[in-house]
Structure 1
């Protein structure tokens, strides 16, 4: 039995004559904030939400203990190349019991960009993370998908011609679903194909288009609207997820609205990618992983090390990136001034590695010139 019903159409609901996906460039930046909604019939079970903000395990503290870089007596292995540390080995701030990796991780390099529908780029990182989700997924696994959803864009489904609605100045008729408790959920998709699959679930699909929007814009629409949450790739069960609104709010509270660093890391590597990240680190708040594992009260910041013994501070663009490693570390906000102080006071620190759960990037000190200049300005 279908648990979602479609609102009856009126004369005001006239739509284009064919069900198709519009070009992803169709007004993605011009969407009216007070979008209308249209319910879409979906023969799927009501969403079950078992994830809560408690799964963040203390994420978001604006203040924390004094932390120090750990020292290591480990002897380096065979020397590696001095110019390109390709795979630093993570060194937790304090010893901890090994934990099984349960989250969708990613390659250090961004995936090849693909289009499952011509002209509409997929959010490949999110699409691939969803393939690892099965029925009964844990909170940690769902948070792992959430972090990849933050890379790039999401598609929203619009009933009718999105391009025409935007050009006419109308609110977009965004497709939503309701469960038996009359809770309303917004739909989002990792690719245009996922939109098409959603439409094809319906016995009598109306003309449908898709609009690509920055992920933060989509999450803000859910948080500010009358929604219980967001369903991603609703036609792809069991490879779909449901995120409650309070979790989305928590995610946004800790995110860079522009997703500057994440956008660079998710894009194909360019000759100046490292320099762009270095510039961002001089102005954007990042996060570090802190572990108080030995109970002594001395907290340390996690770092990474190459086989030739060079040390790299681990930085993260969002608290979820720390959780994704599954080490039990606590995310701690780290301002540009703090990074500048660490680099200036630890001349043996070779650089930083950003988002080691992937996609990631290694920056040596020459790419961190803007941060080091900040240290000079601060008199460090």
Structure 2
């Protein structure tokens, strides 16, 4: 008997691109916080366009890398030396002005990889060298400060044009560093690319806390999937699976029904179990699924009991990757040790 219970066909073959506004408590909380934000939130610090790259807030700064400085700019009004977080930038650009909670969760999941960008009043490099606190650009929502975070150069330049104040600098940091720094301060959360939209995208503190609690510190799988694909990528993703949290997408049509798990099929009819690197990845599918944690040994047992499974598809909302049984062999062997 198979360990995994398959979802009814009508549910598993839903269009993943159609969001469901009534998803989960996290989605509703995000939507409520977003709706409470005023589009005219007052920005306190000023803006500039010099670029610094830091290992962490309060750490000694280093010049932007030569490769970053030489990277071609995707936008004509970008900032030299700053490479956009393309996944986050594109997710924000795809949002309608009146985004629902599930759509905002789809943006929030793209915070878990790559670099995020901040504005600092004054020269960030000089301030850090002097050991001074870096005054981040913030906006106030109901007297609570929210950190202004940017997906890249175009969004930063939009903020510069919006206020015309240049006495500040742009700072790039790993996403994990930025999010943990926000939680370490008196902030209610973050606002993304605020000058690029009429309606602000607000990611509340509670959602950031949950996102970090349910992820590994390095965002390992998300980072691998967001990076350049090579012939080694499937092996690297498979090797990471025993060491990171994993989830499946569970659902049922009625309370009396058994829970079924989401699968995908390719054009040849091969079955792939959907596996997720984070609960936000499940919620972003917009199908009303519940994230169900699973260990690698449980995943291995499920495959032993279901010969019809060809493999898994990791983070099917994208960027995604398919791993065959052969790809998973080393991960399943590690589960037995």
Distance 1:147 1:30 in 2: 21
| CA root-mean-square deviation | 2.6
Instruction: Tell me which structure has the larger Cα radius of gyration.
Output: 1
What is the match of residue 64 of structure 1? none
Shift of 1:5: 6.2
Distance 1:295 1:156 in 2: 46
What is the match of residue 182 of structure 1? 143
Alignment partner for residue 121 of structure 1, among 67, 83, 88? Answer: 83
What is the match of residue 100 of structure 1? none
Distance 2:295 2:87 in 1: 27
Alignment partner for residue 331 of structure 1, among 286, 291, 300? Answer: 291
What is the match of residue 97 of structure 1? none
Alignment partner for residue 291 of structure 1, among 245, 251, 255? Answer: 251
- Answer whether contact 1:134 1:239 (CA < 8 A) is retained: no
Distance 1:372 1:247 in 2: 32
- Answer whether contact 1:130 1:239 (CA < 8 A) is retained: no
- Answer whether contact 2:41 2:139 (CA < 8 A) is retained: no
Closer/same/farther in 2, CA of residues 30 and 328 from structure 1, 3 Å limit: closer
- What aligned pairs does 1:192-341 form with structure 2 within 5 A after superposition? 192-203=153-164, 205-238=165-198, 240-341=200-301
Distance 1:2 1:143 in 2: 23
Shift of 1:229: 2.0
- Answer whether contact 2:297 2:336 (CA < 8 A) is retained: no
Closer/same/farther in 2, CA of residues 162 and 297 from structure 1, 3 Å limit: same
Closer/same/farther in 2, CA of residues 113 and 320 from structure 1, 3 Å limit: farther
Distance 2:257 2:48 in 1: 61
Alignment partner for residue 320 of structure 2, among 352, 360, 367? Answer: 360
- Answer whether contact 2:98 2:199 (CA < 8 A) is retained: no
**Which sections of structure 2, spanning at least 5 residues, go unmatched?**
1-38, 60-71
Q: How many residues align?
A: 285
Shift of 1:195: 1.7
Shift of 1:6: 4.1
- Answer whether contact 1:132 1:239 (CA < 8 A) is retained: no
Give 3-state SS (helix, strand or coil) of 2:243's partner.
coil
Looking at both structures, which has the greater relative contact order when contacts are Cα pairs under 8 Å and sequence separation is at least 6? 1
Give 3-state SS (helix, strand or coil) of 1:314's partner.
strand
Query: So what's the TM-score if we normalise by structure 2?
Result: 0.77
Query: So what's the TM-score if we normalise by structure 1?
Result: 0.69
**Between structures 1 and 2, the one with greater helix share:** 2
